[in-house]
Chains A and B, each alone.
Chain A
């Protein structure tokens, strides 16, 4: 069964005109923003396929911008997201992608704020549902439909055991988990899709575990 929820049939609540090109784009923008962890100062957005071809009429550019401002899919400021972005001082650069991208509706977003940088590759796969293919250069597979933790760590023994033990202690069930490493003993990323959102102190506790470099919470289920 591809659909498991009545609110994926009646819903989402969204600003039009297209669930894939508008609502999905807002959600992708929000994932990027949450990965960066703060308001971006600069954004570079590369559009592929149908996103590059029809973004204008669907407001995909405004929708992605709105997501970077952490707006939700039904935020009525989406049509003026470019003006809202200007108010924050965020500079935007738009690039036409070369080649096909991983899906007909794909986008690569790179964000900067001070010393921080974040990069995602994602696609809008229909009905507002998104697929995130890459976080900061690591291959992942997440949907944004569950509270998600992205952990960057060194590729060392016991790291995953520590993290899963911590989640288990907090009675948090892991729905999906994915590990990618740059190379043996190099940097690695593990993502957890969880059935419930962990408290902030759990995230802090994770960061203090050995070999952990960074822990980021991505949660589109929370209203902005």
Chain B
């Protein structure tokens, strides 16, 4: 790729009078030696999987294998039927859709990792709800995925997109920044504004630890996806309104790396600190271990003495 930072990316866009999405598509085609239309087709396939996941999460059974989660997207959708949500309809819809996809993930359904499975709800939540609201065609949203991909690419190479490396800020935080920047471009904002949106969004996620109960991609991952979709919309609106990130987005990404590197191991996906280590977190973990032992006895599951 021709860019390593968001500033370089925005400069290329400015010089060549292209969108971030166009630059990403062209660079991807060049890097992998695969024609642009084929690259586009693969992303279009991915967008269909995202839309299916939203539907599945709203209508299907999303009880997870652990039994800890499932059905929250439906709760939000039902609640919205009863009256005006505090957030307003469009944001609440994005939240419900993001929860839906994350619940599909937790219940072993098909999703697209964006950038990871743990943060797979935010981009589909923002994209699919906004598509319905503004009546956009699929191709427009597929372009948006390339914008999001370019932003994630810079974050991944300059900080991290792995909770084990950099905490939840690297997963959910990255997804929020990607969704916010993409939304700015989809609404007609400039590449510079999109980069500001990334900076604004990431600043609100710095320091977020990865502390899943029992090490599972469920608690608090799913609700963080729901709330992350709302933050992404808010950051996009700020940037579209002309609010800038005084600390440039690339420097905020630098902070993400600094904070992630300083994070104790127990707060990086080990399930040993944070919410996982609360009295309730520990109790749920213990119950799961016992439940598994029982099931292992019943079926020829992996041995019961594991753990």
Contact = CB atoms under 8 A, between A and B. Distances in A.
Interface of A: 1-20, 22-23, 47, 50, 52-59, 61-62, 74, 76, 78-79, 92, 94-96, 126-128
Q: Which of A19, A20, A74 has the largest number of chain B CB atoms within 10 A?
A: A19
B29 to A, nearest CB: 10
B117 A57 contact: no
B115 interface: yes
Interface in B246-305: 270-271, 288, 292, 300-303, 305
Contact of A18 (B31, B46, B118): B118
A18 B301 contact: no
Contact of B305 (A4, A59, A96, A126): A96
Given A6-B24, A14-B110, 13 more contacts: A1-B1, A6-B39, A6-B149, A11-B46, A11-B114, A13-B46, A13-B49, A17-B108, A20-B164, A23-B113, A50-B215, A52-B307, A57-B216
B292 to A, nearest CB: 5
A54 B214 contact: yes
Given A57-B66, A57-B215, A127-B115, A10 B110 contact: no
Given A14-B113, A59-B108, A126-B162, A6 B150 contact: yes
Interface in B111-158: 111-118, 120, 123, 145-146, 148-150, 152-153, 156-157
Contacts of A59: 65, 108
Nearest to B117: A19
Given A5-B31, A19-B116, A54 B215 contact: yes
A44 to B, nearest CB: 12
B161 interface: yes
Interface string B63-88: 01110000000000000000000000
B215 A17 contact: no
A134 to B, nearest CB: 22
B153 A3 contact: yes
B161 A127 contact: yes
Nearest to B104: A16
Interface string B42-56: 110110010000000
Q: Which of A5, A47, A61, A62 has the largest number of chain B CB atoms within 10 A?
A: A5
B93 interface: no
Q: Is the interface of A mostly helix, strand, loop or mixed?
A: mixed
25 contacts: A5-B31, A6-B24, A6-B146, A7-B149, A9-B161, A10-B43, A10-B115, A11-B112, A12-B112, A13-B111, A14-B111, A14-B117, A15-B111, A17-B216, A17-B218, A18-B217, A19-B117, A20-B164, A50-B215, A53-B215, A56-B65, A56-B301, A57-B66, A96-B305, A127-B161
A47 B303 CA distance: 11
B109 interface: yes
Given A7-B42, A50-B215, A57-B288, A16 B156 contact: no
A59 to B, nearest CB: 6
- Pairs of residues from A and B, 3 with the lowest C-beta to C-beta distance, nearest first: A16-B105, A94-B302, A9-B152
Interface residues of B, number: 62
A127 B110 contact: no
Contact of B302 (A3, A7, A13, A56): A56
Given A23-B117, A53-B215, A58-B216, A127 B46 contact: no
A61 B306 CA distance: 13
B37 interface: no
Contacts of B164: 20, 126
B107 interface: yes
A23 to B, nearest CB: 7
A186 B220 CA distance: 53
Contacts of B109: 15-16, 76
A78 B113 CA distance: 16
Interface string B224-239: 0000000000000000
B104 A96 contact: no
Nearest to B302: A94
Q: Which of B39, B107, B178, B305 has the largest number of chain A CB atoms within 10 A?
A: B107
A3 B156 CA distance: 7
B106 interface: yes
A16 B111 contact: yes
B105 A17 contact: yes
A74 B117 CA distance: 12
Contacts of B150: 6
Contacts of A128: 113
A76 B110 contact: yes
Nearest to A95: B303
A48 to B, nearest CB: 11
Nearest to A53: B307
A74 B42 CA distance: 14
Given A13-B49, A16-B120, A94-B302, A126 B216 contact: no
